[in-house]
Structure 1
């Protein structure tokens, strides 16, 4: 049996793929830097060996799966070349691996992690389903029928995939360090559309997605009547959301989800549309929706006394709007406090006013220093530039986390793609000590 060695196994996609191969009966090990990352917990739970980087980890007869963050001159990859060992990049390996299954690539500027998690949970109630989620979660089955994967548009990585289906949640301008503008982003999605072999499930309320051309059927979902699958009669409560689905203007089924906000209705419609295309009964879909527990870092709730803490990956103005809407629906009587850590200087600079507009919808905003990326230069921008655009906003540091304690019985939204969780951990500690 081949031993798969993952160079950079703690990467979110790499960790997920290692978990999938292990679950499916393969021999797996990997290496990375020694700093702890949350993505390694599921590796340790499976007793997958995680080594420090060392060229001596590489032995003849292995197959090396290399993380995209590590260049060809990485010592392990150089040693592999010397030994004549096969090295295959993460996306290329995954692109070939999914061809064994009915594959669904879930993509979009926003909502892809949540939709991937929801779809894999629902499909798993019908037939064995392997899945890879960008939050570091991977599950494999040796007898899987479906393979669901989160497919990221950044650097056009998703063009490594030729899937049976693609779910496209939206097209929005993000990653300004790579994409030139919205047209450049659209071009990437258009290229992916030509690689799909069965059908594309797309949000018809998104004006960019309305322009997608494909050689396979494009099935649209959304709130407007022009969609193939439309949500009507939406009822929002503190327990979740109920809505009727109409299929080309004929009533199909009434669904209830234990989720909040318009974006969760759209994500669910995408799942319902794909399941209908695969002839999965609505009753099975509803039963699975009822038991869905969410994915990591997407509106993840912790309660301490009367204080609610929400951990969310929101790092773009559109996502902040969605998280705030969810909080208002679930906790209509509570003060909503935004704690936001911008992720990358390029994104913060590009969307400075949009960030200000979205955060201003909270009852109070606290802003942490910008979490930069190794890929970029800081320049002149600081967090003060954003604070100055939001009335009443304040800066926040871990050392002065006690400033949050003056908001009694509130909902705190800790949002960002960097290490904003260290602010939440410090606040949790303060609340527990008090």
Structure 2
């Protein structure tokens, strides 16, 4: 790969993706000319345009700005979500442009910076966001490329003029995290996913083993206890364990009540008392332990850990409350793997043990539905009421015999409904609801304002 110093302009094919948009902001901040294509106009792409990016929504080579047609000084960044036969991609490919996946660019950045990379089937966004916030609000500071919009900063990008620490969400999809060069890494979970790419659980776990081999000399790996991953570490890389109950880093005296979660954080050499979570959800105890371990190992003090965790406001679409009242609660969560669905609904039931929980779930990908429909049905059955929407296809074409119905048939919730997105608002109209969560990685969150209006009788 060429040096990033050589480029004057960057063109993004898929500019509006949450990971891609952080790189858009990074290159804008570095003074580069930035343009790109995305299939759909969103709130995020509108914000990127305001910040200086030139983005269009039609696959049309004539819309590529002239400054992105100089192949010696232009970098083209692409995402696997865009089809291979996309005409703009084809143009850049056939004309010999410098093209790189998002992960390759992040790999180049972590090759020169000290990369703090958070990997795992789930928990990546929250743990990396927490880590970035803990470092940013302390004297240590950091840069960060995040997989969600962090509410504290209203961005998925953080830059520093004094720190070479760079927090990155390490995505295992398409083996993207194999481009990274971590100084420190966390693995939060290794439940099989993306079997359309990996085929088997064995290959999926092998990809995490390869990821651990990329950690630089003198670095460290912090891994949740009980994972099936067998690390392949260089001799000078330290291995730490963590979980809620035990490990080199863990929690003691967990106190949950009155809408708060407080616990003591145990490290290999000290116990930091009375950590209070700014986002008091049980799964965040474990996420915060991993994040605080990374921050602590980089010199963040106990007092700054306390302040940082209490002031952390979370990432958008991660247990994201839109409305809280005595008679109605509405929130959204990005959970799209069976274990995430289980964690989200279980956490919600723990927060509201005496209230009726309604879940509106939008399955994400035909392949994931095919591979895990039994597990999805089991965990969705934790809800008092389920409204199940059609599958959000994202990058995939339909698979014969795979639809939301194969989940629906196995759900055992007391009340369940199968409906389309078009029917959803009418389905909700005129009925009483208590606690409502939209769940999934598709576009269900875009319906929330209308859902709230209907539930409030507007």
Q: Structure 2 length normalisation: TM-score?
A: 0.86
Contact 2:221 2:240 (C-alpha < 8 Å) held by counterparts: yes
Q: Hey, what does 1:160 align to over in structure 2? A: 179
Aligned length: 430
Q: Hey, what does 2:435 align to over in structure 1? A: 411
Q: Structure 1 length normalisation: TM-score?
A: 0.91
Q: Hey, what does 1:214 align to over in structure 2? A: 233
1:194 aligns with 2:239: no
Pair 1:346–1:378, CA change in 2 (3 A):
same
Equivalence map 1:238-257=2 (5 Å)? 238-248=258-268, 251-257=271-277
2:35 corresponds to which of 15, 30, 39? 30
In 1: Cα distance, 2:90 partner to 2:201 partner: 38
Give the Å deviation of 1:228.
0.5
In 1: Cα distance, 2:92 partner to 2:403 partner: 43
Give the Å deviation of 1:264.
0.7
Pair 1:347–1:138, CA change in 2 (3 A):
same
| Local SS of the residue matching 1:135 | strand
Contact 1:312 1:413 (C-alpha < 8 Å) held by counterparts: yes
1:337 aligns with 2:353: no
Give the Å deviation of 1:21.
2.4
Pair 1:84–1:400, CA change in 2 (3 A):
closer
Q: Hey, what does 1:428 align to over in structure 2? A: 452
| Local SS of the residue matching 2:137 | coil
Query: Quick check: 280-289 or 36-45, which moved more?
Result: 36-45
1:54 aligns with 2:66: no
Q: Hey, what does 1:394 align to over in structure 2? A: 417
Pair 1:231–1:33, CA change in 2 (3 A):
closer
Contact 1:5 1:62 (C-alpha < 8 Å) held by counterparts: no
Render the CA deviation track for 1:330-381: whole Å, top value 9, x for unaligned: 3333211111111112211221221111111111111111222443442112
Contact 1:320 1:359 (C-alpha < 8 Å) held by counterparts: yes
1:263 corresponds to which of 259, 263, 283? 283
| Local SS of the residue matching 1:178 | helix
Give the Å deviation of 1:423.
4.3
Q: What's the Cα RMSD here?
A: 2.4
Pair 1:121–1:369, CA change in 2 (3 A):
same
In 2: Cα distance, 1:394 partner to 1:256 partner: 38
Q: Hey, what does 1:131 align to over in structure 2? A: 144
Contact 1:238 1:329 (C-alpha < 8 Å) held by counterparts: no
In 1: Cα distance, 2:91 partner to 2:244 partner: 54
Render the CA deviation track for 1:193-215: whole Å, top value 9, x for unaligned: 000111011111x3314x32322
**Unaligned regions of 5+ residues in structure 1, if any?**
none
